[in-house]
Structure 1
Amino acid sequence: MAAASWGVAYAAVEVTWALTGTTVPWKAHSAYPQGVQLFLAALALLAGAACLASTRSLSRPGRAGVATVLGVALPVLVVGTVGLPVHFVTLATLSGVESATGLAQVLLNTAGAALLFLVGLSCHRRLRGDCPRCGRPHDGPADGPLAHPAVSRASARTRVAVCVLVGGLAPWAGVKTVWTLGGNALGVAGEDWQRITDAAASGPAKATASVGVDVTVLAAMAGLFLLLALLCTWGQVFPRWTVVLAGRRVPRLLPLIPAWLTGVPLALYGAVLVVMAPLTAVGVLPQIPPSPPFTTGSGITWMAEFGGLAFAGLGTGLVVAARSYAARTRPVCAGALPRVPR
């Protein structure tokens, strides 16, 4: 029902924006065309109807239809969440909202992607004969008490993989730190960088820069903190330094929701930059014209590559860590039977 309600609300918003000619940016200096907005509205209505149909007993063609609609709508909505981390950083640094409609579009896409994913997961479990709630095969209703697994940390393989991925932050964070401290890198003088960023920075951003920490690097550090929570045991039971909450179980969705919502868009955005920068360097794509404080095209191309490695590494690391956390913390219905080989 929640997914169906989202579909109606999403379609109503998109149609209203299309008919009134409201500008809804999807990237810098580009807006959603009216035709795309109407297509998204129709897709949202179809997805909502498919979610309602998924709760009923369907024939094979009916199940195939639901799977097709969800399989088309989910990737479209996921791509539409790419701007979420950028909006998060601007809000967290009190830099203001660049576009209210752009932020609303990203939030609507994010909510839809989350709901459709949950519906698709429930359908997949039901088709396998498993409980749509806990994913395990068992008799009885799916609304009984839940049994939580013992506290555990991520496997060594997962920890190593995440460490390798977040290593992509090093070049980007290093260059930003050099600039913030007044040094020169990639043909950009630290003084020029500070002058331009100070002109557009908010109070918190200026405060962090005064001690040599770029605000975006600070945001990346918050992402690393979330990664540690997903990998370590204190992400499942509140540690002693939380005082009042110490010893209590951490709500499972508390770290998972921000991890998924930031990890997937960051990974997609970073992957685009990682591919785009080398193609630009060899001339396959048009050269990126340098804009202040950059003085050369090569400098801004390198910075795009460093940013891609950082965003893709951190985003993919969050996704990998969240997948491990979700598997290790997934509760099961108290009456669930051990899974039998298939």
Structure 2
Amino acid sequence: MLYAGFGLACAMSGTRLLHHGGESGALVPGWAVASVGGLAALVSGAVVRYGPRPALRVLLWLVCALAGITAFSLLMDVITLMFGQGVDSGASAANKALAAVGAVLLAATARSGRLFAGTAVRAPSTAPRLVRLAAWAGTVAFVPYAAMKMVWALGGTFAGITGEEMLAVSERNGASGIFLTLESWGLDPTVLLAVLGVFLLWGLVRPWGQVFPRWTLFLRGRRVPRWLPLAPALLGAATLAPYGVVGVGYLALVTSGAATMRRGDFHSLGDALLVGWVGMTAFAVYGIALTIAARSYWLRTRPACR
């Protein structure tokens, strides 16, 4: 009901939640949010009244998917806030956050009432070989991206644009002081995030992602709460996998001449395509690898029979 009320308030006040431009479509997202929230409330109420019947589980997963779609790009807003920048729209960011929370609660409700295999804690384990190969693919995919970003951060030239020009673009686009300071030190913030992402990826496939290792000092030997790696993994996978896959598809159309793309701040379309391929390939491969690793971690850390 909270989400439905939020959407209704935005619709009534004319607050735009999705930036598509134009005033005529300003109310549509608000009414859509109110509809999703109302449907979620009705289905959840039916579950409370009649129990988690199969048909209601299907509806719960359907509404969960709608909420997940609404929460798309929440990760981008989180990253923006981490580096001291303001989001494009506070209402839009709040909408995504509420939708993400709703998706988690709906998924938990849909899974409630099921019989689990047991309650015993499983021993730490390494992911299967294919999952580890996916993790390697996700890691390697970020190497060209990190190299490209570091070339610019260190003042070099890539795709016809210098590091100084790229820094000017960041300033013009409203980059925060933290972001610009790191760039001036030769550290690209997105590369630091990529390193953290790779760390998360390997934590999902290695035993130290289930029990804190020795180098964590006071935490060593303790079980890692399942939600600690799974929460950022699911958020990252839900954002980067579709973003990267759709981006790769679009770049393929542009490369083949079936679609057009503006060159933006680059000197030629070829330069823009080169940078686009490097970035979107990294996001797509890493996002898919993160999805595979998160699923493996979920299955390997489920309670076992005693």
The TM-score normalised by the length of structure 2 is 0.89
The aligned residue for residue 194 of structure 1 is 167
SS of the residue aligned with 2:161?
Answer: coil
The CA deviation string for residues 150-185 of structure 1, in whole angstroms up to 9 with x for no partner, is 111212221112211332223322222222222222
The answer to whether the 8 A contact 1:78-1:265 is kept is no
The aligned residue for residue 99 of structure 1 is 89
SS of the residue aligned with 2:88?
Answer: coil
Q: Using the TM superposition, give the Cα deviation of residue 255 of structure 1 relative to its aligned residue in structure 2, in angstroms.
A: 0.9
Residue identity opposite 2:18 in structure 1: P
Is the counterpart of residue 14 in structure 1 residue 11 in structure 2? no
The answer to whether the 8 A contact 2:122-2:300 is kept is yes
The aligned residue for residue 298 of structure 2 is 326
The aligned residue for residue 210 of structure 1 is 184
Q: Using the TM superposition, give the Cα deviation of residue 233 of structure 1 relative to its aligned residue in structure 2, in angstroms.
A: 1.5
Counterpart-to-counterpart distance in 2, 1:243 and 1:58: 46
Q: 1:317 to 1:222 in 2, by over 3 A?
A: same
- Whichever structure has more helix as a proportion of its residues is 2
The aligned residue for residue 147 of structure 1 is 120
Uncovered stretches (5+) of structure 2, i.e. residues with no partner: none
SS of the residue aligned with 2:157?
Answer: coil
Q: Using the TM superposition, give the Cα deviation of residue 102 of structure 1 relative to its aligned residue in structure 2, in angstroms.
A: 1.5
The CA deviation string for residues 251-293 of structure 1, in whole angstroms up to 9 with x for no partner, is 11111111111221111111111111111222322x222222x
The answer to whether the 8 A contact 1:266-1:314 is kept is yes
Counterpart-to-counterpart distance in 1, 2:32 and 2:15: 16
SS of the residue aligned with 2:158?
Answer: coil
Q: 1:71 to 1:194 in 2, by over 3 A?
A: same
RMSD: 2.4
Residue identity opposite 1:171 in structure 2: P
Counterpart-to-counterpart distance in 1, 2:183 and 2:36: 44
1:170 counterpart (115, 139, 143) = 143
The answer to whether the 8 A contact 2:36-2:66 is kept is no
Q: Using the TM superposition, give the Cα deviation of residue 13 of structure 1 relative to its aligned residue in structure 2, in angstroms.
A: 0.3
The CA deviation string for residues 8-38 of structure 1, in whole angstroms up to 9 with x for no partner, is 00000000000110122346x5796423422
Q: 1:276 to 1:162 in 2, by over 3 A?
A: same
Question: What is the identity percentage for the equivalent residue pairs of Structure 1 and Structure 2?
Answer: 34
Higher Cα Rg, which structure: 1
Q: 1:170 to 1:290 in 2, by over 3 A?
A: same
Uncovered stretches (5+) of structure 1, i.e. residues with no partner: 1-7, 139-145, 338-342
Counterpart-to-counterpart distance in 2, 1:166 and 1:53: 44
Q: 1:10 to 1:318 in 2, by over 3 A?
A: same
Residue identity opposite 1:102 in structure 2: S
SS of the residue aligned with 1:150?
Answer: coil
